[in-house]
Amino acid sequence: MIRMGMKRRGLSPVIATVLLIALVITIALVVFLWIKGMTQEAITKFDGQNVKLVCNDVAFQASYSSGTLYVSNSGNVPIFGMKVVDYGAGSHQTQDLREASVGWPTGGLNQGGTFSGTISFTGNEIVLVPVLIGDSNSGKKTYVCDETQNGYSIQL
C-alpha cells in the first residue's frame, strides 16, 4: 500500500537507457577479450609460411656425453633456441638454453651451425625441442615447436 504523502518513483527513462547501454558495452567488451584470448597471432617464416609448418622441416642432431651437450643443425631452418625438458623419476624440469648460461649463440644455430655447452641434468632422459623465430604483426616472436612431433630424445 502506498501511504499518503510518500511518492514512489522508478528510474527515469534516460537513466535506465544509459544503464542498459553501459551493460551492453561491458558484455560486448568481455566477449571480445575472451575471443581474442582464444586466438593466437600468426607467426610466419620464409615468405609467409606458418611457423608451425616450418617446425616439420627442422633437422638437428644432438648428443650428451660427460656433462657436455652437443647440438648441430643439419637442416635448412635456423634454430633460434632450444628448450630442454629433463625427465626424472615422476617429474620434469624445463630449461631454455638461450636463458641458461651455457653459451647458446645469440643469433641461434644457422644451417651447419654447432653448439656445445656444459650443462648438468638430474633425470634419466632429456628431450630437446627447437625454438624458432618468425615475423608477426607485432614484430619478431619466438615459437616453441611441438615436443611430441619435433622433440629429440636422449637417454642419459
Average pLDDT, the chain: 85
Whether residue 38 lies inside any domain: the answer is: no
Contact 60, 74 (CB under 8 A): yes
Residue 84 belongs to a domain: yes
26: in domain: no
Nearest CA to 110 out of 82, 76, 83, 144 is that of 76
Q: Is residue 99 part of a domain?
A: yes
Q: Could you give the number of structural domains in the chain?
A: 1
Tens of pLDDT, residues 58-79: 999 999 988 889 999 998 889 9
Greatest Cα pair distance in the chain: 95
Is a pLDDT exceeding 60 seen at residue 1? no
What is the rounded average pLDDT of the residues 108-137? 88
62, 70 in Cβ contact below 8 A?
yes
**Residue 97 has what pLDDT?**
85
Q: What's the CATH number where 86 sits?
A: 2.60.40.10
Q: Does residue 35 surpass a pLDDT of 80?
A: yes
Instruction: With respect to residue 23, please indicate whether it lies within any of the assigned structural domains.
Output: no
The reply to whether 67 falls in a domain is: yes
Query: Span 19-43, mean pLDDT?
Result: 86
Residue 138 within any structural domain of the chain: yes
pLDDT greater than 90 at residue 127: yes
Question: Residue 135 has what pLDDT?
Answer: 82
Task: Assess if residue 83 is contained within a domain.
Answer: yes
Between 65 and 46, name the one with better pLDDT: 65
Q: Which domain holds residue 52?
A: 44-155
